[in-house]
Amino acid sequence: MKKIILNIILILFVQQNFAQKASVAAADKQYEKYAYIEAIATYERVANKGYKDEKMFQKLGNAYYFNANLAQAAHWYGELFAMNQDQEAEYCYRYSQSLKSIGEYTKADEIIALYSKKAGTDQRAILYAKDKNYLEDIESNSGRFAIEDAGINSEYSDYGTAFSGNNLVFASARDTIGVSKKVFKWTNQSFTNLYSASVQSNGKLSAPERFSKNINSKFHESTPIFTKDGSTIYFTRNNYLDGKRGKDAERITLLKIYKATAVDGKWQNVIELPFNSDSYSVAHPALSPDDTELYFASNMPGTLGQSDIFKVTINSDGTYSTPVNLGRAVNTEGRETFPFIADDNELFFASDGRPGLGGLDVYHTKIGEGTIPTFGEVANMNMPINSPQDDFGLFIDSKSRIGFFTSNRPGGHGYDDIYKFSEIPCKQTLSGVISDAESNAIIPNAIVNLYDKDHKPLLNVTTDANGNYAFAVDCGRTYVVEAKKEHYESNEDITIIPYQSGTSTLPLKLTKDGCHLIVGTDLAKCFNIKMIYFDLDKSFIREDAVVELEKILDVLNQYPAVKIDIRSHTDCRQTAKYNESLSDRRAKSTMAWLVKNGVAANRLTAKGYGETQLVNDCGCEPTNESSCTEEQHQLNRRSEFIVTAID
């Protein structure tokens, strides 16, 4: 009887396991069709019954990750890594991003370190290695903006803003169709349409209304941008035009950018742009300030990551150039998307491929001039615009510094919400006193240099009679301050300017260098520069000697009134006549190096002294032989740099 019961239990277990595998297979089909919400429901039902499968946890984590539900993604990626921590690099990156969304930054950094080992030359790994203190930088540079609910949000997804005259146009999944509403299986929400809300006299936005029936279709419309004269709109839509729906090889309808023009107050002539394709997505258009360039996000061939930002030139005849990838200065192996170009030629975009707070963060960089794309430093927009969740779709007016962005952070109305932001006025001065480290005496006429955090020179001033310096600086930035004064060692320190109006102070103390140049001083000894040694029977400049000669060169550049005599010496081996000739060649070789590197020849003289000025007892008289070690002989094969005049 016992055996029969065991067999029944075994049969039930096999049947249950078979049923679970069948359910997972069904969910896999939903997942492959991007029906993530349906796939999630099936995967979780099976997982909650205790079924564990590595591939299932990967897809369950991905389904939540691609739906921007990073907290749930963190949970299921956690289950995945609990089963097997040896995952592909991309899962490490997604798990790290998801952990940030729930505030587990220490664990996130552990996982991103694991990712970096696996990813190698991946740009995301390189950026993380260069900026491991990114959280401190973000925290110290936050508080620049005040944010508030835009007042137009629904319980559904609302995102992607642009102005058309006095109207804010945006995308929304709110449903106004009624019982026949269509649902996007990826998110289980309605397809998005464009809506418009006008700015009222009190600065608030009116109740949103459908934007245009000629633009809105039964599929997605989003992320509009308008030309300066308001006559043309570019927008994102699913691959659908004139009642025809396009699909890729896997029968998936992707995204394209469309264009329409205003005719008698109505949007007409909807056409797709020529660089669209059924095989990849092109989305989220943005125009340059002069309307001659169109930026967009795409995963077209040539993309570095999951999606990159590209640009095309809009020719005077209405044609478009070949798309150009903005390159690694902007794009990573992650997602770069939702570009926007402000009137001051500043590029804003969202990325999950850079050190940030989690999910998509908004970044900005200055666009350089020229046909080949060049960009300044890419910087995080910091809190409160960025959060541990997805933040994207930033739009800003360069003059008023007021704008809008989208986020799915907690506390909103629905899936995505639009927030309004304004820049908090801030003026800062960085000042300090330069003084003597030993006596505390003030040091007037010291040179004070201001650098950015990467040590790029910005400004320099001279301290006044009271040793004071001052710079006008930007709030929220990191600076390096360096002080210099003759007869003192230079000193520098780093400071982070808070984002609040006021004065930041950074005093610096200088230590006397112990070297006061007078005639007869040896520059090398005075500035603690190592001896310039030569190989046995050789006069060429050794590689280690070049390092020390660079220091001599720097001193001569700092003290242009100083003239020196280069005195070279040998050890005692070989004849006195030979050694005198060898040392003379060494002196002239040293002088030639300095002249070649910019020192005026009339500041230099050179002479060889042979073996006449040994620095130890390693003489060779009278047999021209010595019992000294090679190291002792080396001390005699040297050059000296004696000050002969200070004009």
pLDDT band at 544 (very low <50, low <70, confident <90, very high): confident
Q: What is the mean pLDDT of residues 548-559?
A: 87
Highest-confidence segment of 348-362, 502-516, 542-556: 348-362
pLDDT band at 183 (very low <50, low <70, confident <90, very high): low
Confidence (pLDDT) at 626: 79
Pairing label, strands 604-608, 502-505: unpaired
For the chain, percent of residues with pLDDT exceeding 70: 90
pLDDT of 273:
98
- Residue among 449, 386, 389 at smallest CA distance from 421: 386
- Ramachandran angles phi, psi of 327, nearest 5°: 85, 180
Long-range contacts of 71-76 (CB under 8 A, 24+ apart): 71/98, 71/101, 71/102, 73/98, 73/101, 74/98, 74/99, 74/101, 74/102, 74/104, 76/47
Lowest mean per-residue pLDDT among 38-47, 177-186, 547-556: 177-186
- Judge whether 231 and 261 are in contact, CB under 8 Å: yes
Is there a contact between 300 and 312 (Cβ–Cβ < 8 Å)?
A: no
Peptide bond into 622 cis (omega under 30): yes
Q: Give the Cα separation of 233 and 3 in Å (integer).
A: 75
> pLDDT tens digit string along 617-641?
887 867 667 778 888 887 887 788 8
- Number of other residues whose CB lies within 10 A of the CB of residue 47: 18
Mean pLDDT of the chain: 87
**Interatomic CA distance for residues 410 and 391, integer angstroms:** 12
Other CB atoms closer than 10 Å to residue 487's CB: what's the count? 11
Q: Is the peptide bond before 384 cis (omega within 30 degrees of 0)?
A: yes
Which tens digit of pLDDT belongs to each residue from 4-61? 333 333 333 333 343 455 566 766 777 776 666 777 888 888 888 888 889 989 988 8
470 in Cβ contact with 462 (< 8 Å): no
Tens of pLDDT, residues 583-595:
888 889 889 989 9
Q: What is the pLDDT of residue 600?
A: 94
CB 521 within 8 A of CB 546: no
- Region 444-469: mean pLDDT is 95
Radius of gyration, CA atoms only, the chain: 35
Q: Which residue has the higher pLDDT, 27 or 429?
A: 429
pLDDT recorded at residue 168: 96
Name, of 54-63, 207-216, 530-539, the range with top average pLDDT: 207-216
Please give the pLDDT value at position 147: 96
Range among 322-331, 373-382, 452-461, 607-616 rated most confident? 322-331
| pLDDT over 90 at 424, yes or no | no
Q: How far apart are CA 140 and CA 391, in angstroms?
A: 19
What are the tens digits of pLDDT across the range 128-176?
888 888 888 888 778 889 999 999 999 999 999 999 999 999 999 986 5
pLDDT of residue 4: 35
Model confidence at 506: pLDDT above 80:
yes
pLDDT of residue 139: 84
The pLDDT of 110-123, averaged and rounded, is 88
Q: What's the start-to-end Cα distance of the chain, in Å?
A: 114
State mean pLDDT over 81-89. 93
Q: Are the C-beta atoms of residues 71 and 102 closer than 8 Å to each other?
A: yes
Q: pTM of whole model > 0.75?
A: no
Alpha carbon distance 339, 392 (integer Å): 9
Position 18 scores a pLDDT of 37
Whole-number pLDDT of residue 35: 64
Q: Give residue 538's pLDDT band: very low, low, confident or very high (50, 70, 90).
A: low
